Structure 1
């Protein structure tokens, strides 16, 4: 009962309602072009293994200083391990492999943005969460706007089915992670939760990198900068915000935020990679934002 009261209070927090979604979207959207830059200097699984190792190292130091509590049950441990595999190995691993295999960053972002539609279909059956007509309208408007950004950029060029299948696998991973977190997740200290989950990512990715890659890494300032951003911005801050918002609110409402990722990634690609956005892309971006707003503010049913 006490945990339920805490969850209700968290859901009403202005920070989780306004600040956390904005910060999460900025960090998550920038992750696509930043990762693309980093993949110029390292093979994908090796890149991820280094990223996870650095993240675990930082979290290990914080853990030793703060000494937060460990999970108290086998169910809590298994929940962290499953979510770590779904997010770190399936979502990030398959996304990096897809980018290396030739899929455009914007196409990958668009495929992953289908997540709210999957959540809307599966949430009533798996976690008993009702998704009303107003939220469906917002989700579809957001998806239409996101697709418009990609079409306006003229970047939908996929050479083979392999990268697309990898992107779909990444989509399945992040969707399953949100649904599993909502149904089976337990409240844990963020340091403990992230330390376990990134350890899972490292344990899976490091051996695969050793077995299937030549461990190509070109160390330079640019590569080090991308690693620093991905470790701190994506690995430590963004994932913590995502899981916190998922526990505090409706999973379909949180998932609707991902519809802003394609236009957000397009904007970040303009900033970091100099890719020009046509005027149609800006209008489509506005439509995506409108859809996100409708879906996120839909009344509880």
Structure 2
């Protein structure tokens, strides 16, 4: 099941970069994002309030406010930088691979912020992932054309925004139902992007059918698929494993971009894909070994505790 979820996540998250490229041809970034989230927020709000009221029980205004901030960072801030980068001329594959540096940042911060320390094997996998990203990006930079150099910095801001949202959510004092968090995130993004579109005079959608095709693509695949699976896998597998899958976004998106838009896809991208796959395998093996070690250590500690009638030295109590 984890393999199926991971595969679905990689494909649907990558679809967001392709959808941004589709929408960029017919409207500005804020127009696309406004119409991506405004109808969705209305529908989700009605569904949750009518059919899932129980999921809101026990939540405080502070809990909802935290989720609004998480949504502003993980959707509004992240997506705006991705769309702007693509409209500035950065290819979908390069935008995805810059986003692919997220695992290194998240892995470095997971220990001090969440207590989820990264093992040596997992660091090896993260290093492999970075190598794959470098391999893929080298070819794309060679075809940069007239894209300004500073445009390549824009996706980094989005990557940092998503990392911040991830840790803010993981440090929440109590879990929030996915239906609630998704609704709050989408409503927050709808408010942000509607305000930006109105301020820029870009709220009116274009008449082209391609615009609405892009909106349908983004809502179905990217929001419900990629974004929803991100938080689901994050809660089930932890920060390091879900972010390791980000290493696969760049080559997968580059392949999509080559097939749909004629973006460059050569031997370097294939090599980067292979290295990225190796990174995922290594990190997952490292996590599996660490989990096996915990299972072995737990009974031993329990036996010592039972024989002595007190807690074993150094043993941690459950939370």
Give TM-score, length-normalised by structure 1.
0.87
The 3-state SS of whatever aligns with 1:169 is helix
Does residue 31 in structure 1 map to residue 16 in structure 2? yes
Shift of 1:197: 0.6
Alignment size in residue pairs? 286
The 3-state SS of whatever aligns with 1:184 is coil
Does residue 107 in structure 1 map to residue 100 in structure 2? no
Whole-angstrom CA distance in 1 between matches of 2:201 and 2:284: 42
Does residue 70 in structure 1 map to residue 68 in structure 2? no
Shift of 1:61: 4.2
Q: Which residue of 2 aligns with 1:133?
A: 120
Q: Which residue of 2 aligns with 1:41?
A: 26
5 Å-filtered alignment, 1:79-98, equals 79-98=66-85
Whole-angstrom CA distance in 2 between matches of 1:280 and 1:102: 21
Q: What 5-or-longer segments of structure 2 have no aligned partner?
A: 292-319
Q: Which residue of 1 aligns with 2:170?
A: 182
In structure 2, relative to structure 1, the CA distance for the partners of 1:98 and 1:228 (3 Å cut) is same
Shift of 1:157: 5.5
Q: Which residue of 2 aligns with 1:251?
A: 239
In structure 2, relative to structure 1, the CA distance for the partners of 1:162 and 1:199 (3 Å cut) is farther
Q: Is the 8 A contact 2:88 2:147 kept in 1?
A: no
Q: What CA deviation, in whole Å up to 9, does each residue of 1:95-124 have, x standing for no partner? A: 112222232222221211110010111111
The 3-state SS of whatever aligns with 2:286 is coil
Does residue 152 in structure 1 map to residue 139 in structure 2? yes
In structure 2, relative to structure 1, the CA distance for the partners of 1:216 and 1:43 (3 Å cut) is farther
Whole-angstrom CA distance in 2 between matches of 1:221 and 1:104: 23
The 3-state SS of whatever aligns with 1:30 is helix
In structure 2, relative to structure 1, the CA distance for the partners of 1:189 and 1:250 (3 Å cut) is closer
Give TM-score, length-normalised by structure 2.
0.83
Q: Is the 8 A contact 2:81 2:154 kept in 1?
A: yes
Shift of 1:199: 0.5
Q: Which residue of 2 aligns with 1:22?
A: 7
Task: Give the CA RMSD over aligned residues.
Answer: 2.0
Q: What CA deviation, in whole Å up to 9, does each residue of 1:61-88 have, x standing for no partner? A: 4325523422612342122111101111
Q: Is the 8 A contact 2:15 2:218 kept in 1?
A: no
In structure 2, relative to structure 1, the CA distance for the partners of 1:31 and 1:185 (3 Å cut) is farther
Q: Which residue of 2 aligns with 1:271?
A: 259
Q: Is the 8 A contact 1:89 1:201 kept in 2?
A: yes
Whole-angstrom CA distance in 2 between matches of 1:143 and 1:271: 24
Further displaced range: 201-210 or 142-151: 142-151
In structure 2, relative to structure 1, the CA distance for the partners of 1:187 and 1:99 (3 Å cut) is same
Q: Is the 8 A contact 1:86 1:176 kept in 2?
A: yes
Further displaced range: 261-270 or 219-228: 219-228
